Structure 1
Amino acid sequence: MPFDRRKVRGISLAVLLTVATSVTGLTNQAAADTMTQLNAARIVADMGAGWNLGNQMEANSNGIPSETAWGQPTITQALVDKVKAAGFKTIRIPVSYLGHIGPGPNYTINSAWLNRIQQVVNYAYNRGMQVLINMHGDGYKTINGAWLICDAANQTAIRDKYQKVWQQIATRFANYDQRLILESMNENFDGQWGAPTQPCYSNINSYNQIFVDTVRRAGGNNPSRWLLVPGWNTNIDYTAGNYGFVVPTDRYRSPSIPGNEKRIMISVHYYDPWDFAGEENTRITQWGRASTNPAKKSTWGQEDHLDRQLKKMYDKFVTQGYPVVVGEYGAIDKAFADSANPRYRADYVRAVAATAKKYGAAAVYWDNGYTGQYGFGMIDRRTLAVTQQGMINAIMSGTAG
């Protein structure tokens, strides 16, 4: 979904974080690939139920990323422990780089920012969780300093910068095992709603190919690491349909991977129907076959639509050995307008998790840290109180099948 729909309502963008420089965990020295090989079914099973640490490491103030810029507190080990205790096995950590990237030709990432990214990764990784990190906001036209723009004229310079930034990230995390998954970008498109355009889609495909080649050649365990790539705006139809998406060629992968197995995953997001899941209105507050008031239910996007959409991904990719990750899904809180809304939110997330499981995909709930009106949040990041236990129970139930 578009970037500005995720922002917490009424927050200030003026607060900057003094980034921590102490880092725990593994070193970034290159080493031989010693990764335990996990096939597609095993990696999805290991991921289990997923949770997004949204509106933190991708937050920014005037193009400078800062984890507190959008009103959230500093990320702590205690928060990650609470997420794990709730039953989640995977944490996706959206990350923006933006103004923390230095000038060319080296495009050096600010060391304090990269250290802090690694420290947050380690909060989950050192607890045995699966971790996804990506390049999240650098491709949004609405963000000051965004540069990964698929319809910009200077594609040669963009590709050079993209390659050098991912080289640094992949090198930093080279020795992490299969529990770390790297994701090339987030919701990249030309900013115009509607069918994909060229050459913008071809440029997105090029970024994905550069990402795969760069990570694979960065040493350590990267030659056999699972890598996650999206199509146009992580849209299911524009990824699975005949619109121009190309799965990257994995030409530098480890020879230890069996020839018929893949190490590339396909990323999509799911917020259908948007008028229930994300639109800030009081009209559509119910979802699914159990809804009691037709006037409060969207005219589309119910269980049959969900099944068809994820089946498209199964038929196109899972059957060919490419796991699918629904990297974001969720529904905002409208309980203030309809006391029954929590029930339908729970029905929705249970259905997404269960349908993903049915079609061999992993699903990662979008938690933006905001637990009030129109928020996606399920855990208060200041008090660590679980505010939506019913939804968490529903996710765990759906993930269990």
Structure 2
Amino acid sequence: MASKKHIGICLALLLTVAVSGLPDRASAATPDAAGIVADLGAGWNLGNQLEANANGVPSETAWGQPTITQALIDKVKASGFKTIRIPVSYLRHIGAGPNYPINAGWLNRIQQVVDYAYNRGLHVLINMHGDGYKTIGGSWLICDAANQAAIKEKYQKVWQQVATRFANYDQHLILESMNENFDGQWGRPTQPCYSNINSYNQIFVDTVRRAGGNNSTRWLLVPGWNTNIEYTAGNYGFVLPTDRYRSPSIPSTEQRLMISVHYYDPWDFSGAENGTITQWGRGSTNPSRRSTWGQEDYLDAQLKKMYDKFVTKGYPVVVGEYGAIDKSSADSSNPRYRADYVRAVTSTAKKYGAATVYWDNGETGQYGFGLFNRRTLAVTQQGIINAIMSGASR
């Protein structure tokens, strides 16, 4: 989300072995499109942590959350989630060109947090999260900036380091090229900004594929304009990357690219921080508290667009963020409608061959998305979790 939610290859490979302690699962088969969506199951975002920053310097506690622990990840798994998405910012932890080295301590910590989930058998998604937001200090992956040649060189070098570090991880790790990248202006996509986003995706796919190890067969996740369904599935300029360096062992009829979108419609219910629109769906009882748009029929139509455009061609879809904030202080019935909403998103996504990853920003009070108290490890929204699991199992 756009708000506060919101040296060489040999050495890197040695660090992979020395630091990770990962189990030897390199021989595990990579699932096909239907298989990977089924394997991902219900997902959860570790939001406001590895993408948090202070003055452009990433720090997992910069936005008020505690240090991430193995116990937290174990609690998430015990609650039924099979996938954890870990948003990551690099920002001022990237050194100067031409090599653009990632701060070693930061890359080690990213790997350690990945291992918390990976070593428990969970699927893990990691991306480049805040580096493309103009509102964040140190951001640089800006699609309408003038210095695109330098941006693309830096982008390639950073992903080369990340992909090399994780080269020996099996299909439980999925890499995601970026997050909600656009020009910062709401409305129709602009050119050449969209063309640059397409170029970033192509650089990402080429770089990861050529980084060795399991990267040649790994599932890779790419978004369109601002991870927006309309601007990705519609005729607005999105171009799928060419997967030209993937392993020849992958059958020609199969893909290894996934499409990332986010879903927060209608925003006046899911994210607007006021007590006006607190109900959603056909079960709502007060028309004045229900949005005039974005109900079940709209949700179905939007995810069907992704199905028709991508899933039917073998490209799985991941709804990498969705959710609704807590407005129970304004309407005591709000938890019911939040549950109805997440159940509908997960079940509709499953209907159309897409996986879902709930956005949890760690905030469990008013207007928070949080499902867990990350300090006490208490479940704070069991009803929401039950609804997610119900929808994902339909």
Query: Which residue type is aligned with residue 293 of structure 2?
Result: W
Does 2:5 align with 1:2? no
1:26 aligns with 2:22: yes
Once the 2 structures are TM-superposed, how far is the Cα of residue 23 of structure 1 from its aligned partner? 3.8
Q: What is the 5 A alignment of 1:338-349?
A: 338-349=331-342
Percentage of matched positions with identical amino acids: 81
Instruction: Give distance in 1, aligned partners of 2:77 and 2:63.
Output: 24
RMSD of equivalent CA atoms: 1.4
Residue 25 of structure 1, CA deviation: 2.5
CA distance in 2 between partners of 1:358 and 1:269 (Å):
17
Contact 2:42 2:82 in 1 (8 A): yes
Q: Does 1:44 align with 2:37?
A: yes
Asked if the contact 1:136–1:186 (Cα under 8 Å) also holds between the matched residues in 2, the reply is: yes
Q: Is the 8 A contact 1:3 1:140 kept in 2?
A: no
Which runs of structure 2 are paired with 1:27-176 in the superposition (5 Å)? 34=27, 36-176=29-169
Contact map agreement 1:35 1:221 (CA 8 A) in 2: no
Supply the distance in 2 between the matched residues of 1:385 and 1:247 (Cα, whole angstroms). 41
TM alignment of 1:270-349, pairs within 5 A: 270-349=263-342
Moved segments of 4+, more than 3 Å? none
Q: Is the 8 A contact 1:331 1:376 kept in 2?
A: yes
Once residues 356 and 87 of structure 1 are traced to their aligned partners in structure 2, the CA distance between those partners, rounded to angstroms, is 18
Q: Which residue of 2 aligns with 1:228?
A: 221
Query: For residues 271-294 of structure 1, what are the alpha-carbon distances to aligned partners after superposition, in whole Å with 9 as ceiling and x for unaligned?
Result: 000000000011100000000000
Give the whole-Å Cα distance in 1 for the aligned partners of 2:267 and 2:21. 40
**How many Å separate the matches in 1 of 2:218 and 2:354?**
18
Aligned residues: 383
Gapped runs of 5+ residues in structure 2?
A: 7-17
The aligned residue for residue 259 of structure 1 is 252
- Rounded to whole Å, the distance in 2 between the matches of 1:86 and 1:37 is 26
1:181 is matched with 174
TM-score between both structures, scaled by the size of structure 2: 0.96
Change (3 A) 1:35 1:155: farther
In structure 1, what is the Cα distance between the partners aligned to 2:38 and 2:22?
Answer: 25
Give the equivalent residue in structure 1 for 2:10: none
Is 1:215 the equivalent of 2:208?
yes
Q: Which one of the candidate residues 237, 242, 247 is aligned to 1:249? A: 242
1:396 and 2:392 correspond: no
Helix, strand or coil at the partner of 1:364: strand
> For 1:128 and 1:163, how far apart are their aligned partners in 2?
29
- SS of match in other structure, 1:120: helix
**Unpaired segments of 5 or more residues in structure 1?**
8-21
Map of 1:200 onto structure 2? 193
Counterpart of 1:385 in structure 2: which amino acid? A
Partner Cα separation in structure 1 for residue 315 and residue 91 of structure 2? 30
Are the aligned partners of 1:47 and 1:90 in contact in 2 as well (CA < 8 Å)? yes
Match of 1:15 in 2: none
TM-score normalised by L of structure 1: 0.94
8 A Cα contact 2:22 2:119, kept in partner: no
| Equivalent residue for 1:359, pick from 347, 352, 362 | 352
Cα deviation, residue 36, structure 1: 1.3
Aligned partners of 1:164 and 1:26: how far apart in 2?
24
In the alignment, residue 344 of structure 2 is paired with which amino acid? A
Q: Is the 8 A contact 2:23 2:119 kept in 1?
A: no
User: How big is each residue's C-alpha offset from its partner over 1:136-162, in whole Å with a ceiling of 9 and x where there is no partner?
Assistant: 000000000100000000000000000
Q: Is contact 1:35–1:224 with CA below 8 Å preserved after alignment? A: no
What secondary structure does 1:221 align onto?
Answer: helix
